[in-house]
């Protein structure tokens, strides 16, 4: 097929059909080509090898292979309209009013992993060491290799849980591993019930008696749980929590979002004047090529345009509210956690009152510790622990705090990048834990920590229909530390 003067939108759409995003500079290279553009795009996607954004580097070798001539695009510079100039002026004012949010922990700019086997060894050692440090004062743990060499029969050990097997109605066996060895742990009765809820790869302590020289009969399973009892922090401001806006999706709930903006701007309802922070826990856009057939469920096919839309919508949030934006699995960053913040090419689109952070990240907001995590591991927790469910997602957050880890289970639905340090360990107890991802809403307190799973701005998607997942869109928790939790509902169902 000979195509003359195809435009950017068509190129972007064609790449989206293959499940790829394309950089604007790469689009420019393809514009105006007089060759078989469909064939070239198919070849580019075939050789792109799953890269997140196709850049000129991926395209240039294919272009030379096809020996096509490219026509340089004519750059047209339009004079700025009055509206655009006014918008820039507003952004300047916003940047002058910026208040800093201090980031206590975030992978952004610190990633060193290459994904080698050695990296995974270092990563899991970091997990073991960090959580062992929490457990050690609570146990008299010996190295696993010392079992059988100590005189006493009663011992404590700390290790990473390997596979848990149910032997019969009353008994389960699991393996525990530390840097010195592996031991089998037998759990019966009530302990068996606890063992059946163990996530693979979490770090726990076990107290028990040595059985037959090489296994332990468990008497107690010790979680690295956060301390009981809470400090009461009182603040005169409130924080609004949202996530999963999915700008660009054809199921985006425009009317409900408009109502929320009206509320934030004090045009409807009450209480917005207290809001000092708006926290967004990922999936601000729907992305491109996130799942097969997604192109049929998009209204904006270009990832850049999706972020432009997200930025212009967040620009409508009043200037005195500081926005904190973390990515999720639909965002344009690496899929494996911990995810760094949005790259500059996207973050630059947002106003200066938006602070971009990674997933997860621990922040200090005026003396309040906020831990943000998109929540991908919640799917793993719901699948593993039958008493948890999507109608009460905040209860899964209690389990994360109890395990002191945001994605305890490796190799399931939460891809993990093996960094030298395990950023997913909850080593510092936050005042607030905020997640999203599962599109349902729930809030509660666990040992003094405010846990919130914020909802979504997307109605039920085709995929959710197939898996029978009922989202709870348009709900917003507004929390004033030491005061009330307000639940706003902008969606009538």
Chain positions contacting Fe ion, by CB under 5 A: 283, 328-329, 437
Q: How far is the CB of 438 from Fe ion (least distance, A)?
A: 8
- Structural contact between residues 53 and 30, judged by C-beta atoms closer than 8 angstroms: no
Q: Which residues of 18-44 are buried (b: 16+ CB within 10 A; e: fewer)?
A: bbbbbbeebbbbbbbbebebeebbebb
Nearer to Fe ion (CB atom), residue 294 or residue 329: 329
- Cβ nearer to Fe ion, comparing 436 with 481: 436
Question: Rounded to the nearest whole angstrom, what is the least distance from the CB of residue 329 to Fe ion in the complex?
Answer: 5
**Shortest Å, Cβ 315 to Fe ion:** 23
Least Å from the CB of residue 439 to Fe ion? 8
Q: How far is the CB of 374 from Fe ion (least distance, A)?
A: 6
Please state whether beta strands 102-106 and 53-54 pair in parallel, antiparallel, or not at all (unpaired): unpaired
Nearer to Fe ion, 108 or 377 (CB): 377
Q: Which is nearer to Fe ion, 356 or 437 (CB)?
A: 437
Residue number with CB closer to Fe ion (208 or 328): 328
Smallest distance, Fe ion to C-beta of residue 285, A: 11
Residue 328 CB, shortest distance to Fe ion, in Å, is: 4
- Our measurement of the distance from residue 486's CA atom to the centroid of its chain's CA atoms, rounded to an integer in Å, reads 24
Dist CA 431 CA 369 (whole Å): 5
Q: How far is the CB of 283 from Fe ion (least distance, A)?
A: 4
Q: Which of 345, 336, 337, 260 is nearest to 311 (CA)?
A: 345
Which residue's CB is nearer to Fe ion, number 283 or number 419?
283
**Nearest-angstrom CA–CA distance, 289 and 295:** 7
CB count within 10 Å of CB 442 equals 23
> Which of residues 144 and 253 has its CB atom nearest to Fe ion in the complex?
253
Q: What residue number has its CB nearest to Fe ion? A: 437
**Quick one: which H or E segment has residue 314?**
helix 303-314
Asked whether the beta carbons of 417 and 111 are under 8 A apart, the reply is yes
> How many CA atoms does the CB half-sphere of 473 hold within 13 Å?
23
Which residue, 216 or 409, is less far from Fe ion as judged by CB?
A: 409
How would you classify residue 367: left for phi > 0, otherwise alpha for psi between -120 and 50, otherwise beta?
left
Helices and strands, counts by H and E, the chain: 13, 19
């Amino acid at each position: 097929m000979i195509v003359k003067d195809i435009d950017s939108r068509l190129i972007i759409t064609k790449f989206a059909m293959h499940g790829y995003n394309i950089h604007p500079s790469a689009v420019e290279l393809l514009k105006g080509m007089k060759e078989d553009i469909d064939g070239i795009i198919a070849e580019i996607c075939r050789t792109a090898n799953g890269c997140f954004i196709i850049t000129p580097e991926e395209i240039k070798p294919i272009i030379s292979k096809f020996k096509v001539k490219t026509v340089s695009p004519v750059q047209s510079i339009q004079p700025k309209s009055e509206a655009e100039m006014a918008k820039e002026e507003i952004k300047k004012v916003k940047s002058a009013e910026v208040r800093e949010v201090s980031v206590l922990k975030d992978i952004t700019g610190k990633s060193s992993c290459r994904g080698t086997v050695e990296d995974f060894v270092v990563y899991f050692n970091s997990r073991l060491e960090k959580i062992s440090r929490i457990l050690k004062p609570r146990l008299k743990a010996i190295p696993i290799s010392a079992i059988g060499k100590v005189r006493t029969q009663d011992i404590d050990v700390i290790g990473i849980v390997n596979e848990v097997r149910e032997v019969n109605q009353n008994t389960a066996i699991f393996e525990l591993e530390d840097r010195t060895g592996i031991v089998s742990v037998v759990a019966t009765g009530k302990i068996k019930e606890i063992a059946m809820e163990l996530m693979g790869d979490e770090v726990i302590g076990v107290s028990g008696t040595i059985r037959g020289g090489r296994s332990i009969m468990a008497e107690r399973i010790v979680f690295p749980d956060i301390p009981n009892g809470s400090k009461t922090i009182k603040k005169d401001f409130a924080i609004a929590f949202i996530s999963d806006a999915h700008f660009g999706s054809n199921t985006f709930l425009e009317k409900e979002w408009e109502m929320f903006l009206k509320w934030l701007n004090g045009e409807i309802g009450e209480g917005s004047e207290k809001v000092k922070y708006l926290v967004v826990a990922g999936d601000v856009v729907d992305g491109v090529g996130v799942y097969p057939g997604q192109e049929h469920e998009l209204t904006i096919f270009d990832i850049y345009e999706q972020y432009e839309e997200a930025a212009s919508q967040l620009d409508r949030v009043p200037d005195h509210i500081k926005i904190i934006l973390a990515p999720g699995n639909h965002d344009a960053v690496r899929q494996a956690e911990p995810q760094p913040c949005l790259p500059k090419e996207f973050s630059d689109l947002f106003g200066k009152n938006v602070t971009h952070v990674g997933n997860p990240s621990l922040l200090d907001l005026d003396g309040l510790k906020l831990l943000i995590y998109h929540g991908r591991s919640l799917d793993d927790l719901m699948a593993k622990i039958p008493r948890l469910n999507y109608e009460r997602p905040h209860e899964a957050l209690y389990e994360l705090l109890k395990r002191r880890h945001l994605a305890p289970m490796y190799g399931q639905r939460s891809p993990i990048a093996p960094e030298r340090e395990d950023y997913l360990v909850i080593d510092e107890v936050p005042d607030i834990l905020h997640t999203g991802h599962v599109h349902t809403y729930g809030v509660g307190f666990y040992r003094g920590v405010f846990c919130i799973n914020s909802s979504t701005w997307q109605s039920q998607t085709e995929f959710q229909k197939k898996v029978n997942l009922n989202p709870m869109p348009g709900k917003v928790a507004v929390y004033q530390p030491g005061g009330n939790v307000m639940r706003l509902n902008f969606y009538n169902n």
